[in-house]
Structure formats: C-alpha cells, structure tokens
Chain A
Amino acid sequence: MAKISMTVNGKTVSGDVEPRTLLVQFIREHLGMTGTHVGCDTSQCGACNVHYNGEAVKSCTILAVQADGSDVVTIEGLAKPDGTLHPMQAAFREYHGLQCGYCTPGMVMVAVDIARRLPCADEATVREELYGNICRCTGYQGIVEAVMAGSEAMQTGVLPLKDHH
C-alpha cells in the first residue's frame, strides 16, 4: 500500500492505494466520484479523461501513485458551485453533443483541453483531436459542433446558438 495525496477539483484528498491502482480507480472507487467513466481496457475510448496538471489525460493510463502531488480536475469540477454549466458543457447541451451520456465526461474534458490549446480549431482539426474519444451514440456531429461553439464561448463569453431547420 502506498500513501498518496493530490488536489482533486481544488480540494486536497489522500488515500492508501495498492501500487497497481489506476488513477481512474482511485477517483471512482476511493474518492467515490463516479462522473469519470471507464469504457475500455486498452486506453482507446477516452471516457476516463480528466485534467491532470492542466492537460487532458486518460486516467486509466496513469497509476494513482504517479499522480501523487498532482492537480486533477474531473467532470465534477467543471461547472460553477452554483450549478452554472461551464461554457463547454453548455455547448454540448445546445448542440445535442450527447445521448446516453457515457462518453460525455471524457468528451467534455478533452473538448475543454482542445479549446485551450487550439482556440480556433477548424472542423477537421477538431475531428482529428477527438481521435482518442469514442462515442457510440451521436455520430460525433453534435460533439464536433459543440467543441467549436464551446471553444468560441470560452473566448468570447457568448455561446453561439444552434440554428435549427
């Protein structure tokens, strides 16, 4: 067992983990925060993405002990405490970027990361950037639109609304 501590969504947390415990297991099973999902066992699906020291990382690819001392933000840490959605979350809602919601936390965490790194990414770039995230429900169209609109909202503070036929 190893003692670890880290910051998760701004709070210091600690725990005793087996060395083989993955960060995602630590988050879900030790901290009881179930917003971060597990969709595969080969690090392909991206459902487990969190922000790890400011970058989107698949939390099934790092050990909890590696994350000792790190700063982690999960999907639960994105909205304001009063419940106001993060602009990217609002964009996913506006553009119907989710159906069953299982891939969604990972998608949103990656989307925020894309918006920070590539604020004016075009459609083709967004699609490429989403390579590590699998969604089985949406066909990705709403997700891609949401990432672009959410990205704009993060810069301008105004979310462009979906125009509907």
Chain B
Amino acid sequence: MGQYGIGQPIRRKEDARLLTGNGRYTDDVNLDGQVYVYFLRSPYAHAKINAIDTTDALAAPGVIAIYTSADIIADGVKPIPCEANAKSLKGVPLFKPPRHALAFERVRYAGEPVAMIIAESVNAGKDASELIQIDYEELPAIADTSRLADADAPLVWDTLGSNVGLHWETQESAVSEAIFKSAHKTVELKLLNNRLVGNPMEPRCAVSEHDPKTGRTTLYAPSQGGRRVINAIAKEILNVPPQSLRMISLDTGGGFGIRSKTYPELVLMVWAARKQTRPLKWRADRGETFVSDVHGRDQSTKASAAFDKDGKLLAVRNETIVNVGAYLSENGAILAMMGGGKIMGTAYDVPVLYFSVKSCFSNTVPTDTYRGAGRPEVNFIMERLMELGAQAFGISSIEMRKRNFIREFPYKTQMGCLIDSGDFPGTLDMTLDKGDYAGFEKRKAESKARGKLRGIGIGYYVEGAGGRPVEEMRVRFEKDGKVKIFAGTFSHGQGHDTVYSQLLNEYLGVDASKVELIQGDSDTSPKGAVGTFGSRSSMMGGVAIKRASEAIVEKGKKIAGHLMQTEPSKVTFKEGVFHGGTSSVTLEVVARAAQDPSKLPEGMEGPLDESYYYERQGESQNFPNGCHLIEAEVDPDTGTVEIVKFTAIDDCGTVLNPLIVDGQVLGGIAQGIGQALVENTIFDNETGQLLTASFMDYGMPRASDFPMIGIHFNSVPSPTNDLGVKGAGEAGACGAPPALVHAALDALKEYGIRHIDMPLTPEKVWRAIQAAKSGKAA
C-alpha cells in the first residue's frame, strides 16, 4: 500500500477547483446567441385537454416558437420508452402507457409539461406562457398510495381498467399462509415508506445546440452518465443516428439516482434545438425541479413474520403497493422487487418468503430510483418486523437479531440473490461496543432528569449494490506524460478522480497528479459506458480500471523486453518499473517508447491505451451491510425527536479511500435521517396538488439535525470482485431510518406506542403521545 494507493485517506483532487468557484455546472454554460426555454406545466393533477390555443402567445414580444404535443407527434417524436419488464404470476405484463414528452390529450399530474416556449429571455417566455389558452376539463384525481388499488379509485389510465399496472408476486402465497397458521407467534404491521424528493442542490438545467454543418446536436445536462440517455433519445425517441447526438455532463450538483433518467425536458431540448437556429437554454427553478425530477420511495406495505418457539423466523409475508406516479419512469414499477425484493430478509435467514408488489398509477409525479431504490424500503420493513418479534417474545432486539442472522456465506435469498460475505453478529457487537450500549441506561437517566425521554434503536441493513452488470473503462498514456482515464462511470460528487488515481497509483505506480479523469461526454466515453448509480462505481469502474491496468502491464512488458533486449516472459513489473535480468526501465519510459513506432516490437502499435469491458459474472452484486445505532431524545411536551448519539459500523468491503467512503456513508445517513425525521412529500388527496414544492414546505435536513456521527468499518472484503469492494453510497439510507424510528419508539416505550409512520415530525409524535394518553395508542 503506497502513499497514494488503496486504503489511504487521500484528500480529493477535485476540491481545489470546486472550492474556488471554478466548478463548471450546466448553468454556467452560455452559448453565443442562445435563447431561453420555458415549460408551461399543468396546473391540474388530472384533466382532459380539449384545446390549446397559442395564437396570442406566439404574438407576444420576444417569442420565437411554442410547441405542444401536436407538434412533436406530427414530427414523429416517439413516446419515452420504459425498458423495465415484468409479468404477473399469470403472465400479465407490466402495463406501459405512452409517455409523450408533452402532455397528449390529458394531463395526469400537476407539473406535467404541456407546452415548450422558446423566447429571447426567460421572462418573455414566462409572460407568453400566460397567454396560452388551454381548455382543461378537470377530472377526479387520486394521489393517496394506500387507496390506489381500491375498486372505486379514480382511474389514471382508463384502458387499464384499474390503477394496478402490475401485480408481481412470488409463488409462496399459500405455503406461507399455512406456516403462519401453525406458527408459534406471528407479528404484523402496516407501514409507509414516505415519498421523497431527491433535491440535488443543482436544479434541473439543460443547454442544447444544433450545428447544421455537421448535422450534430449537443446537449449539455447534468446526469449520472449520459450515454444511455442520449442513446435512448436518438434510437428510440427521435429516430436519428446516435452519432448525430452528443451529450455532455459537466460538473453535476448531486445525483442520488434521480439524475439518470431520460426526462421529457431533455428529449425536447434535443428535438427543439434541431428545429431552431440558435442554441437553447433551460434552467428550472427549485419549484419546477420539485415537479420535474422523479420522486423516490412512496410504498405502502402490509408485512408479517412468523416465528417458531425459539423466535426463529419461519416465514415472511410482504405486500406492497408502490405509487409509480402518472407515467412509468425507467425503473419505478420494478424497483420494489428487483431492488428490494431480491434482498428481502436482509440480514436474516428467512426460509419462506411471500413477496407481492402492486405497482399502481396515480395522478402524481412519477417515482423511480432514489438513493437505495427499493433496498431502504425492505430494510425498514424487515427491521420493524424483527423489533416487533423481539417484543412479542419479550427478548431484546439484540437477541432477536442474533437468533436470526445469516451466518454462513454465500447465502441465497429467497428471491435468488447470493449474499457473498459478511460478519453480521460481529458487526452488531462492534456497534454495541463503539456506541457504548452498556452505558445507555445511565444516559437515559440523565436525559430523564432534563425532562427528556431517551431511547436507543438498532437498524441492521443489507444492501445489494452494483446495478447493471457491465461497465467499460479506458486507460491511455498520452504524449505529454499524462494518463487519461476515459470513464463509463460518472462522478457527481463521489470523488472518482481521486479514487481512480489511487487505483492507477496502486496498479501502475502512476503519480496521481498525472492522472486525468475524462467523463460525461458521449463522444469520448467508452462504448460500453453505463454510468454511476446503485453504488456501483468502485466495483464496476474499479475492476475495469484494474483489468485495463493489467492489460497495460502486459503490453508494457513486451515493449520493455524489446527495450531491454529481454524475453518479455522474463520481464516483471513492480511499482511502476519493469525489470528484466539486471536492467530495468520505468513505465514512463515504456509509455514514451510506445508513442514511437521505431521503438516498438515488430507488429505492435502504440500508444499504451487499453479498454476493459467488465462483465460481472452472473447476477452477483455485492452486499454492503452494517449496523446503525441511534440514541434519540424525545421531548414529551412538543413531540420533538432529537438524535443525540449515532454510531455506524459498515461493512463496505475493502475501503479504497476512507475519507471518501466516510463521506458516502454520511451522505446516505443524512438522506436516511431525512426520510425518517423531516422529509415528506404531500399531495392534496382531493386535488392531487403537490403541497410541498419548496424548501419552505419540504423538510430538507439541516446541519442542526445531526450530532457528530461515529463511523467505523468492519470490513469483510467481497470475494466476488477483484477489489473486494462493496458499495458505500446507499448504505446509510438503509440503516438510518429503522435505527431512528426504533430509538424514538423506545423512548416512547412508557406510552405503549407500537408504530409511527415516517417522518417522525413533532406533530406526529405529539399526536401519538396524546392518543396514547387517552387510551387510543397506535
């Protein structure tokens, strides 16, 4: 392990630039002659569009063009495809309604884009939008997740006949029911995984430009790797050759899963640029970002667990309704089973699982992947069941978990995921130790003396990381001595430049300052580029870099052998130097020689430039896991929940850079605590209006919501990838919510409150206390 190699807390290369105002985000791009785009959005959650009249608006000052769905459809623009596929047990496929980039015939959620206005200034566009006359006929709307599958629910898609776009389930319904009947004890719970808005701090933004000379259109937009987005726009929506489109993602101000989508606005920015002679710029404000980014979570679940007399799990049943919104975004309809279901059971041995998901439409913003994408939901469900199980048996939360932990690996989950490694009991013990579990009662007494109720809660999680099983990376030595990494992944805050430089330092001995990360440009990214989501970059990108480095060494050995007049098979490579017999030559010299055909062995071509397309074997992901322990104080008079102590032990496998992994864990925790404590996305159940569409109404976690969090690792390297890494990005979002809810419920123990749905706002907690006092405990 060198000074800059694997495992060192290297300070980030990215930072100097970002700290001095030299970051370059999409809104910082201004092209000569650019004009501005404004999207007119539906004020109704559900309405028929009888007519749209743009005559007056088109005559308004500064207006250049106005487009509606009629224009894009007439021009052959196809609906945005949803590539997710799934079937019910009876073979009924997922219902995929057409999603046009601009509302066609009906609007189905408040905020859906209806018209695109292009004008000389943003204000001219906004003013003109008010002159567009739309004859809307309002229809009944539905937003409430728990009611979507009801027979009398208003229909979002008439032709479907209900709102259930897919009922996906495993075979074990009858088997599990029989087990429940004969089980020693069973517990059951209804709970919500509240809808969340990702809210990267950089609002939605895009700039586009068409060059009639080359026939190419360039789209600048933040993303999590744009190749898939731009390919879908080219091939499936606009039907133009992929090479005629280029997507460039500059610095991207946060992603969290929601930035990886083929959004309607992006389609329109590309399409309209090809109609216009001047570049286009669109910058959403925060309110618009709230209704134009996909949302996350929004699942209503009934779950139950059956135990034998020793408190060992016999079976789990899970029935979830997922609110997918009005249209299908990429993975909204399948993430509950593909992301969540696959790891259901999480850290525990579950012999029989019945898992059912109804993916239902509603008159709300579409939902899709957001930090954890299905895994935080099942971890929350499973942890709640374990806690209720402990209560039912009158044993401690710790004992309950220990009786049920998976202890042998690999372990195949009921839905076929192979959990490769971990040390669940050890991680739990380490957490109790680092978090001074033993000293809790004393701290509780101290809190009591201050009039506060203190509780302690555990959240043990298992996450399935890695996402899609392919990724490509390319490493190229340049003439000037620089080493460029052309990445298929896309760093939008994760510090890839730093970590990948560490890898090249480790494997090739290259100085970190010589490494340059090239990413986010569909023209230069490798063909097999996929992107960054699902906590996959260290594994997929990292392994691909390692193997590309190995290919560099192999080729380098031949060149070095040629230079040293040694048999290449006798050449060895260590820390940047090739050795053969008594001679040696540095990789730097070899790389330079590789640029000069006269110095190369017969038939070999320079430079040192190797790509590696990494195809993960089978479906094997990696399984970060860990234990989060929270102590919270509840003020019984106000219902305020305050986190006073937080210890997190994570098994992220091999840690490439502890500084960055800490940051990833902390960021995930903050979003997990956000879900559990303050964040809620509220739609008016009558009108479907989003009531929480600004930072004044939507609870974003603040610095004062957290104590200093103690982060430690109990690393068990993953045996299924070369680096031994496990994902780190989504771990915190899985562990923190159950730990916080358990801490709060433990604090409220004396009231006998069984459950409170997230987020645990003062109002909800206060009401639960009042209800308990009057004998109506939840």
Contacts and interface: CB of A to CB of B under 8 A. Distances in A.
A79 B21 CA distance: 10
B658 interface: yes
Given A78-B20, A98-B18, A45 B201 contact: yes
Interface string A108-135: 1000000000000001101110110111
A134 B287 contact: no
Interface residues of A, number: 58
Contacts of A34: 21, 24-25, 27-28
A43 B341 CA distance: 40
Interface of B: 9, 11-12, 14-16, 18-25, 27-28, 30, 198-203, 251-256, 285-287, 492-495, 658-660, 662-663, 666-671, 694-696, 700-704, 706, 708-709, 711-713, 732
Contacts of B16: 83, 85, 93
Interface stretch (A51-59, A62-70, A140-148): A140-148
Contact of B670 (A39, A94, A101, A140): A140
Given A42-B286, A128-B704, A100 B251 contact: yes
B209 to A, nearest CB: 18
Nearest to A99: B493
Contacts of B662: 96
A89 interface: yes
A143 B703 CA distance: 9
Nearest to A124: B704
Contacts of B671: 136
A130 B706 CA distance: 12
Contact of A138 (B15, B285, B287, B663): B663
Interface of A: 28, 32-42, 44-45, 47, 74-76, 78-79, 83, 85, 89, 92-94, 96, 98-105, 108, 123-124, 126-128, 130-131, 133-144, 162, 164-165
Contact of A40 (B22, B25, B286): B286
A137 B703 contact: no
A133 B14 CA distance: 21
A45 B23 contact: no
Nearest to A47: B201
A143 B669 CA distance: 15
B203 A39 contact: yes
Contact of A136 (B200, B287, B669): B200
28 contacts: A37-B202, A39-B286, A40-B286, A41-B286, A44-B696, A47-B201, A75-B19, A93-B11, A96-B659, A96-B662, A99-B254, A99-B493, A99-B494, A99-B667, A100-B253, A100-B255, A101-B19, A101-B251, A126-B703, A133-B703, A134-B700, A135-B703, A136-B671, A136-B700, A139-B701, A139-B732, A141-B708, A165-B658
Contacts of A136: 198-201, 254, 256, 667, 670-671, 700
B201 A76 contact: no
Given A44-B695, A102-B253, A136-B201, A85 B20 contact: yes
B37 to A, nearest CB: 16
A95 to B, nearest CB: 9
B9 A42 contact: no
A142 to B, nearest CB: 6
A164 B24 CA distance: 30
A140 B253 contact: no
A118 to B, nearest CB: 14
A140 B201 contact: no
A99 B708 contact: no
Nearest to B22: A35
A32 B24 CA distance: 12
B708 A123 contact: yes
B666 to A, nearest CB: 4
Contacts of B255: 100
Contacts of A85: 16, 19-20
Nearest to B713: A165
